[in-house]
A and B are shown apart, each in its own frame.
Chain A
């Protein structure tokens, strides 16, 4: 009988990525990138960073220990 998969291994990186993204998008850090002098492309760079975080999280979740 195989042991049940370790759910925390899959879930924890995702929750960390989610928390960091929330800080970037909702927290006071938002004022650092949401400023006209930063140019119009910076929000997309932040978005790309969050996507990268998500890719890292799912990769960690998929990699066997």
Chain B
């Protein structure tokens, strides 16, 4: 059953439009992001590996090489086993350094534009036949299904549609920072279409030809030679060679590299693809042999490359034929699209941009991004045009597999380079170029020129395959692979061993093998803001601004950044981002030219130490023996410095901060991440300013008092010069400043001094009381005698006055004695005391002297509240408190005493509604001899005595007072039955009293 060419073309166009729609919907966000970013979608997009060769050519390959056709996919499976060994490191490199193709990878590793150009030209030459093959396969599909030769314009129109798709969905973004989600989904969809189409055709063919799978089994039993022919090449064919070729092709073909690494999602997706991608290939190959056997039965003399479409056409189901044709279109179009994109990117970065005067182009074009995008689009059109032209020139006598394998042998030539790039730091540029050139030469002589000669594009004299022992009629791949790869590897290794890598190569080798951070450098620009002005002449104002903004955002950095190490990181990030735009070498040229390094100036010590530490960290796993122990000791010392409870700030010779430990972070509020690497002059904050002033001065030790967060804090600063290790001239390597926070210590010292002062006052009071007490007793006795003996009333009154004054002095002396004895709790009684009675007695005593004033005192203490203590001293406490409250209260306002008992103790509240105390009074109320009462009415020892007695009882004292709002004194005492530990609450009592 034949189809008209017009219908087939309409089907092809409809399918490609569906693909356009799917890609467009994805780009517009209409396809769920979960599906777009699913690892299986990524794995299916790797199915671009399966081209027309797989879809149609595998059957022909199986006819000639039996199970040998599987090697093309088993090799890929083997390479997928090494995802953690090879694929992931390559992905890391591509991500870190924004490398978008194999040519970028080699140009970066060997720091050679020549390497990039050679790989680009070679990949282009090696893949043009492959592109042509796809176009041939499409026209062959038309021919098989229409049973007539299609017009030549069909292939041209097909190429036009594919080009349009590549332009619209493969070149939307100029930078690899953004994936082409639409492209990825469309290619994954194409893989699905190929798979379902092939399985459908196989199912239909087995049913129509054999009557089902049981019929196929019977047919195989009747034709044992069919299986024998299939298994024969496993032993005798180029099995190992093909495994090796497909192993390399699985990730090094330009389209594979593009989908696997440039359009990759992440490492997780790669690990899913490690099994999902080979599983897809297995399912795709499962129907190949049934299709071969069905085709052999149906078309004994037919071309097995056409069996898939011929069987679909002869099935009698037009829809099956159309679906099979769509499968063929999808196999060809996906390869054409992705391969073209990959080759165009390589050509742009390595053939076009290195020959472009960026400065002049920037001036003319103004917009670098648009210029690069249009150049990339032009190259896409050019590459596809070349493929089309090649397809027109190339003879069709070669099978699909023969042309495909020519490309595979080309690709395997870069395998030694990739392995060396990942695992051998000794590989050199001359070695790589020599090896690859030799491999290319053998490939060209053994495979490429004969292919062109057979296609009449070259004279027959160019067919020099015989040089390598390849005779006409024999398979050429084993010999071509052996000679090209052997010579390539031998020269690569040999020349690399004989030559030395340049400094840049060594740097790139380190980056490739273990990942490297930029080394310490000093840049000419002193701030991130200066970068833009320096990049603008080469990139244009807009691109310079956009790239700087992007790099700053990537590093979470601010435009005002001035730290040399951070500026070095920013420069490196800019270079990496530009690498994604224009290739690693052009990017390096742009950055080297615009953001220059001060080669004569040594990088700050902090940068050098940081770089050294990062190197040590990266190679820690490799250290053994003494170096490993030294490294462990270094980390121990480092940790010691970081955790020291004393602020340590080490400064390099340029006053860059080398160490800023945690204690200093706690004191200053400035983290080590912000401080280390910065110059001391740029650090914010009062403490940093104080350290700065201290380092600039002459003193080796000083004390600084700083206002920080509204409080005064005291720091002790001590410094010491650090001598350069090994220096005999006394050269210094910087300064180390020790910063000790004295604030807490000073506060404690003030408290101790206050206590000492109070103790001195107590001792003085005791001495005075003792010295005054004795003569006073004598004076009082004499005065009493005089009162009794004198007859004159006037004289008796005067002696009475002397007696009252001596009584008053006696009262003062007793208070002084009481105060001086307070704190000596050893002799204090500790009995349960009924608080209500105790307070009542105190109130009665106060009333005796305060009755005339008219201040009522209310005892609201519950009956059952008991405290543990000395009853007499507690009465003394409440007499003082109630007395003070009465003095402060106006007439008629009551003074109340309340109490609350709890498991923690008993709280007694003495409350008045009097004048209250102002701030200054509150601060001094516990000072001995401080009183607000008029002279002669107060000793200023009442409250200090109260505080001392409460302290003796293990209680606390708090005063809540405000001017005009009265005062409440809260006394907390241990309840009866509670154990009492004298002195345990002294500090609390003092603290409470101050509050």
Q: Is the CB of B235 within 8 A of A17?
A: no
Find chain A residues with CB under 8 A from B282 CB.
Answer: 44, 47-48, 51
Residue in chain A with minimal CB distance to B230? A40
Q: A4-B621, A6-B621, A53-B81 are in contact. Are A31 and B289 (CB under 8 A)?
A: no
User: Main SS of chain B's interface residues?
Assistant: helix
Q: Is the CB of A54 within 8 A of B77?
A: yes
Contact of B286 among A10, A30, A44 (CB under 8 A): A44
Q: A40-B289, A61-B271 are in contact. Are A18 and B278 (CB under 8 A)?
A: no
Interface residues of B in 252-285 (CB under 8 A from A): 268, 271, 274-275, 278-279, 282, 285
B560 is an interface residue with CB less than 8 A from chain A? no
Find chain B residues with CB under 8 A from A22 CB.
Answer: 78
Find chain A residues with CB under 8 A from B286 CB.
Answer: 44
A36 is an interface residue with CB less than 8 A from chain B? yes
Q: Is the CB of B83 within 8 A of A14?
A: yes
Find chain A residues with CB under 8 A from B697 CB.
Answer: none
CA distance A43 to B224 in the complex (A): 17
B228 is an interface residue with CB less than 8 A from chain A? yes
Find chain A residues with CB under 8 A from B227 CB.
Answer: 36, 39-40
Q: Is the CB of A18 within 8 A of B78?
A: yes
Give the distance to chain A from B755, nearest Cβ to Cβ, in Å: 47
Find chain A residues with CB under 8 A from B224 CB.
Answer: 36
B338 is an interface residue with CB less than 8 A from chain A? no
Q: Is the CB of A4 within 8 A of B77?
A: no
Q: A26-B240, A48-B282 are in contact. Are A35 and B231 (CB under 8 A)?
A: yes
B70 is an interface residue with CB less than 8 A from chain A? yes
CA distance A4 to B614 in the complex (A): 10
Q: Which of B85, B243, B286 has the most CB of A within 10 A?
A: B85
Contact of A36 among B83, B228, B243, B289 (CB under 8 A): B228
Find chain A residues with CB under 8 A from B77 CB.
Answer: 21, 47, 50-51, 54
Find chain B residues with CB under 8 A from A25 CB.
Answer: 74, 78, 243
Q: Is the CB of B81 within 8 A of A50?
A: yes
Contact of B620 among A3, A26, A40, A55 (CB under 8 A): A3
Find chain B residues with CB under 8 A from A36 CB.
Answer: 224, 227-228, 230-231
Find chain A residues with CB under 8 A from B67 CB.
Answer: 34, 43
Interface residues of A in 17-65 (CB under 8 A from B): 17-18, 21-22, 25-26, 30-31, 34-36, 39-40, 43-44, 47-48, 50-55, 57-58, 61-62
Q: Is the CB of B235 within 8 A of A58?
A: no
CA distance A53 to B80 in the complex (A): 11
User: Main SS of chain A's interface residues?
Assistant: helix
Q: Is the CB of A14 within 8 A of B84?
A: yes
B497 is an interface residue with CB less than 8 A from chain A? no
CA distance A47 to B271 in the complex (A): 18
Interface residues on A, range: 35 or more
B148 is an interface residue with CB less than 8 A from chain A? no
CA distance A47 to B78 in the complex (A): 10
Interface residues of B in 273-315 (CB under 8 A from A): 274-275, 278-279, 282, 285-286, 289
Contact of B81 among A7, A10, A21 (CB under 8 A): A21
Q: Is the CB of B234 within 8 A of A57?
A: no
CA distance A23 to B334 in the complex (A): 34
Find chain A residues with CB under 8 A from B231 CB.
Answer: 34-36
Q: Which of B67, B73, B275 has the most CB of A within 10 A?
A: B275
Residue in chain A with minimal CB distance to B278? A51
Give the distance to chain A from B62, nearest Cβ to Cβ, in Å: 11
Q: A26-B240, A26-B243, A36-B224 are in contact. Are A14 and B235 (CB under 8 A)?
A: no
Q: Is the CB of B220 within 8 A of A18?
A: no
Give the distance to chain B from A51, nearest Cβ to Cβ, in Å: 5
Interface residues of B in 77-104 (CB under 8 A from A): 77-78, 80-85, 88
Q: Is the CB of A10 within 8 A of B84?
A: yes
Give the distance to chain A from B232, nearest Cβ to Cβ, in Å: 9
Interface residues on B, range: 35 or more
B618 is an interface residue with CB less than 8 A from chain A? yes
Find chain B residues with CB under 8 A from A13 CB.
Answer: 84
Residue in chain A with minimal CB distance to B274? A58
Give the distance to chain A from B345, nearest Cβ to Cβ, in Å: 28
Contact of A34 among B81, B83, B235 (CB under 8 A): B235
Give the distance to chain B from A52, nearest Cβ to Cβ, in Å: 8
CA distance A25 to B67 in the complex (A): 12
Q: Is the CB of A30 within 8 A of B621?
A: no
Residue in chain B with minimal CB distance to A41? B286
Give the distance to chain B from A58, nearest Cβ to Cβ, in Å: 4
Give the distance to chain A from B63, nearest Cβ to Cβ, in Å: 14
Q: Which of B81, B224, B234 has the most CB of A within 10 A?
A: B81
Residue in chain A with minimal CB distance to B621? A4
Contact of B220 among A7, A11, A40, A52 (CB under 8 A): A40
B617 is an interface residue with CB less than 8 A from chain A? yes
Q: Is the CB of A54 within 8 A of B228?
A: no
Q: Is the CB of B220 within 8 A of A58?
A: no
CA distance A49 to B231 in the complex (A): 19
CA distance A22 to B282 in the complex (A): 18
CA distance A54 to B278 in the complex (A): 10
CA distance A18 to B789 in the complex (A): 128
Give the distance to chain B from A20, nearest Cβ to Cβ, in Å: 9
Find chain B residues with CB under 8 A from A4 CB.
Answer: 617-618, 620-621
Find chain B residues with CB under 8 A from A51 CB.
Answer: 77, 275, 278-279, 282
CA distance A19 to B73 in the complex (A): 17
Find chain B residues with CB under 8 A from A44 CB.
Answer: 282, 285-286
Interface residues of B in 601-617 (CB under 8 A from A): 613, 617
Q: Is the CB of B278 within 8 A of A7?
A: no
CA distance A48 to B278 in the complex (A): 9
Find chain B residues with CB under 8 A from A11 CB.
Answer: 84-85
CA distance A26 to B534 in the complex (A): 58
Contact of A57 among B81, B268, B285, B621 (CB under 8 A): B81
Residue in chain B with minimal CB distance to A59? B271
B235-246, CB under 8 A of A: which get 1 and which 0? 100011001000
Q: Is the CB of B84 within 8 A of A58?
A: yes
CA distance A30 to B67 in the complex (A): 12
Find chain B residues with CB under 8 A from A26 CB.
Answer: 239-240, 243
Q: Which of A22, A30, A57 has the most CB of B within 10 A?
A: A57
CA distance A18 to B78 in the complex (A): 6
Give the distance to chain B from A18, nearest Cβ to Cβ, in Å: 5
Residue in chain B with minimal CB distance to A50? B77
Q: Is the CB of B234 within 8 A of A34?
A: yes
Find chain A residues with CB under 8 A from B228 CB.
Answer: 36
CA distance A51 to B230 in the complex (A): 22
Q: Is the CB of A58 within 8 A of B271?
A: yes
Of the A-B pairs whose beta carbons lie under 8 Å apart in the complex, a sample of 27, sorted by A's number, is: A4-B620, A7-B621, A14-B81, A18-B81, A25-B78, A26-B240, A31-B235, A36-B224, A36-B227, A36-B228, A40-B220, A40-B230, A43-B70, A44-B285, A44-B286, A47-B278, A50-B81, A51-B275, A51-B279, A52-B275, A54-B77, A54-B81, A54-B83, A55-B275, A57-B84, A58-B83, A58-B274
Q: Which residues of B contact A (CB under 8 A)?
A: 67, 70, 73-74, 77-78, 80-85, 88, 220, 224, 227-228, 230-231, 234-235, 239-240, 243, 268, 271, 274-275, 278-279, 282, 285-286, 289, 613, 617-618, 620-621
| A-B complex: 6 closest residue pairs judged by Cβ atoms | A55-B275, A34-B234, A36-B227, A58-B271, A10-B84, A18-B81
Beyond A21-B78, A36-B228, A43-B67: 19 further Cβ-contacts under 8 Å? A6-B621, A10-B84, A14-B83, A18-B82, A18-B85, A31-B235, A34-B235, A36-B224, A44-B282, A48-B279, A48-B282, A50-B278, A51-B77, A51-B282, A54-B77, A55-B274, A55-B275, A57-B81, A58-B83
